[in-house]
């Protein structure tokens, strides 16, 4: 039997439920984190916790997360998860006067799931017609419960037989993809958009910035900048690293991964995950 943690107790996952009055359900008023579990350990827990706190502060949500790591560890063990996904959701709670919150107690939900099956060697990107929400509108560097913009972009990509959607911001700078951060190689450099472009501060992105042996250039880049890339890859906690083959409908280039660059980043990330888990299990 699989379990989930809801509010203040562990319950069978199949019977887990929340009130229809939850602000997370009604308004997307909350934050979440999706964390990779490797060898029974939540990879880069510290980074995820830091981003979670940033999201709570940005939304002015008060939540007691002092026991969160212990609760997550207990759930991983109860569900006997060696390799999978840990998801933490925190809603502002129950209580609304229209949009104005009157909730006094936040609601914490923790769940686990299996890793998604993503075995494609390379995928196609669709240049989305939807604009990335700006930092001036929402604190989008954190993981917010609202996700309709990403959902619409991903649906549009799927309708065009693409795996992911590439999002530009209002200034037509590359931001991110609907479910992932993006990197590309050109000449001897590894490029990725800077956080001011409105992307989620991805933890896998942070790991790549930390472990990359290549010189990295963060900045504001146009579509033309990425179309002239040598290699492109996406990253998130579930996929880790997946290569891009084409950007449709704007590009005709077939980007090809090389073992010496994207392949090396993938190898280094896999080793970093193993090292992190080993350090926590010792």
The torsion region of residue 240 among left (phi > 0), alpha (psi -120 to 50) and beta comes to left
- Tell me how crowded residue 127 is: count the other CB atoms within 10 A of its CB: 20
Q: Judging by DSSP bridges, how do beta strands 100-101 and 107-113 pair with one another?
A: unpaired
Which whole number is the average pLDDT over 169-183? 98
CATH number for the domain running over 122-273: 3.20.10.10
Which pTM was predicted? 0.96
Contact 135, 60 (CB under 8 A): no
CA distance 104 to 165: 38
Give me the residues paired with residue 85 across strands.
36, 113
Collect all residues with Cβ–Cβ distance below 8 Å to 152 and sequence separation of at least 6: 130
* Res 119 pLDDT > 70: no
Taking Cα atoms as reference points, which of 282, 261, 174 lies closest to residue 226? 174
107, β-bridge pairs: 91
Angle subtended at Cα 183 by Cα 182 and Cα 187, rounded to the nearest 5 degrees: 155
- Considering only CA atoms, give the Rg of the chain: 19
Residue 154 to residue 133: CA distance in whole angstroms:
15
Two tokens at 109?
């939900």
Least confident of 40-54, 88-102, 215-229, 244-258: 244-258
How much is the average pLDDT of 110-123?
87
CB atoms within 10 A of CB 256: 11
Q: What is the pLDDT of residues 30-52, one digit of tens each?
A: 999 999 999 999 999 999 999 99
H/E run at residue 156: helix 148-159
Token output for 87: 């998801």
Residue 251's pLDDT band, with cuts at 50, 70 and 90, is: confident
Give me the torsion for CA of 22, 114, 82, 233, rounded to 10°. Answer: -100
pLDDT > 70: percent of the chain = 100
Indicate if 122-273 has the same CATH topology as 3-113.
Answer: no
The residues spanned by each domain of the chain are 3-113, 122-273
pLDDT at 167: 98
Q: Which CATH architecture fits 3-113?
A: 2-Layer Sandwich (3.30)
Q: Is the pLDDT of residue 118 over 90?
A: no
CB 74 within 8 A of CB 12: no
Long-range Cβ pairs for the range 253-260 (8 Å, 24+): 253/227, 255/122, 255/229, 255/230, 255/231, 256/122, 256/231, 257/121, 257/122, 257/231, 257/233, 258/231
Q: Residue 195: its pLDDT value, please?
A: 98
């Amino acid at each position: 039997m699989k379990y989930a943690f809801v509010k203040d107790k562990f319950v069978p996952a199949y019977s887990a439920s929340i009130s229809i009055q939850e602000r997370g359900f009604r308004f997307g008023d909350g934050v979440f984190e999706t964390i990779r579990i490797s060898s029974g350990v939540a990879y880069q827990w510290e980074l995820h916790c830091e981003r979670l706190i940033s999201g709570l502060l940005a939304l002015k949500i008060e939540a007691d997360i002092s026991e969160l790591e212990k609760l997550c560890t207990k759930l991983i063990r109860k569900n006997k998860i060696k390799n999978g996904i840990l998801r933490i959701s925190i809603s502002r709670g129950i209580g609304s006067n229209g949009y104005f919150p009157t909730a006094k107690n936040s609601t914490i939900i923790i769940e686990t799931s299996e890793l998604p099956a993503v075995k494609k060697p390379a995928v196609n990107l669709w240049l989305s017609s939807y604009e990335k929400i700006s930092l001036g509108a929402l604190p989008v560097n954190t993981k917010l419960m609202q996700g309709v913009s990403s959902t619409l972009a991903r649906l549009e990509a799927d309708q065009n037989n693409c795996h992911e959607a590439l999002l530009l911001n209002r200034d037509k700078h590359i931001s991110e993809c609907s479910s992932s951060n993006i990197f590309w190689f050109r000449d001897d450099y590894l490029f990725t958009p800077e956080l001011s472009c409105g992307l989620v501060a991805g933890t896998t992105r942070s790991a790549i910035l930390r472990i990359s042996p290549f010189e990295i250039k963060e900045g504001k880049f146009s579509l033309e900048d990425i179309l002239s890339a040598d290699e492109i890859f996406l990253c998130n906690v579930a996929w880790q690293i997946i290569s891009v083959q084409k950007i449709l409908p704007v590009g005709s280039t077939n980007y090809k991964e090389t073992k010496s660059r994207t392949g090396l980043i993938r190898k280094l990330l896999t080793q970093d995950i193993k090292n992190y888990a080993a350090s926590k299990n010792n």
